[in-house]
């Protein structure tokens, strides 16, 4: 497939996990991508993999803290100028910290919301004029299954994702007349560095039994429980392409049936 041969794309969280897998999938389908991440080493890995498959000429990287308003403005503007416009924004960047809610520090709460929720807003706000000028702009946001299903010890993270869910619905309605589509992706049970480190972040006396509902019911060919970032990236590619032309203002859950 070559669904993105004429598409200009920004992806955040592009140095690892689902963001990185999305960059490679959209490059594979012909897209031109500006990949952003707070980690320079992560972006170097993204670039190396793109160069191995001959797609390095369509990839540009930018080290970016999406919670920094001025940095977002300069990075998005530079990306739009380099690409000659913008068709797709994928807001995959996120952080996660865990605690008993009554022990959650205000600093952690504010930091999580600043990156996950405010960062998504800042990236989207700056990109909206170019996306609307495209006439076929797409915003892909990440709400996680925590936006609609209980995730214990993750109240700040869940609150940030719930905010993104509502924000995305507002975008979909407000800008539909400009040809913009806005979609929520809800991954769960996917093998990423963030997900695999979740239990390591739990408070010392956490109850593992509270996580029983988060387990995927599907198994991979090798018997493993967790899905792969590439599984999510393939759905993003569908939703952001013309194959998803009638999808907006909704959620697509990718969790192996954990919440069936």
Active site residues: 157
Within 10 Å of residue 253's Cβ, how many Cβ atoms?
A: 21
Distance CA 12, CA 142 (A): 11
Please check whether residue 58 is in contact with residue 7, taking contact to mean a CB–CB distance below 8 angstroms.
Answer: no
What's the alpha-carbon Rg for the chain, to the nearest Å? 18
For the beta sheet containing 88-91, the strands, ordered from the edge strand earlier in sequence to the opposite edge, are 59-63, 32-37, 8-12, 88-91, 138-142, 181-187, 250-254
CA distance 146 to 140: 17
Strands (E), 202-255: 250-254
């Amino acid at each position: 497939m070559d669904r993105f041969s004429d598409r200009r794309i920004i992806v955040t969280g592009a140095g690892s996990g689902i963001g990185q897998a999305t960059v490679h999938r959209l490059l594979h389908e012909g897209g031109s991508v500006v990949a952003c991440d707070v980690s320079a080493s992560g972006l170097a890995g993204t670039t190396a993999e793109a160069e191995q498959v001959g797609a390095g000429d369509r990839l540009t990287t930018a080290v970016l803290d999406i919670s920094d308003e001025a940095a977002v403005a300069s990075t998005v503007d530079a990306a739009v100028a380099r690409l000659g416009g913008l068709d797709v924004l994928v807001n995959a960047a996120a952080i996660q910290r865990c605690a008993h809610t009554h022990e959650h520090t205000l600093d952690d709460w504010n930091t999580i919301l600043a990156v996950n929720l405010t960062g998504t807003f800042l990236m989207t706000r700056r990109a909206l004029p170019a996306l609307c000028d495209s006439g076929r702009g797409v915003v892909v946001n990440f709400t996680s299954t925590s936006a609609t299903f209980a995730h214990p010890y993750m109240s700040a993270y869940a609150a940030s994702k719930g905010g993104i869910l509502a924000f995305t619905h507002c975008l979909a309605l407000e800008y539909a007349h400009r040809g913009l589509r806005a979609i929520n992706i809800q991954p769960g049970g996917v093998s990423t560095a963030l997900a695999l480190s979740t239990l390591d972040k739990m408070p010392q006396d956490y109850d593992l039994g509270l996580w029983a509902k988060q387990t995927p019911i599907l198994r991979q060919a090798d018997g493993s429980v967790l899905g792969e970032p590439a599984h999510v990236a393939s759905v993003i590619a569908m939703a952001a392409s013309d194959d998803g032309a009638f999808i907006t203002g909704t959620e697509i859950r990718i969790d192996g049936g954990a919440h069936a």
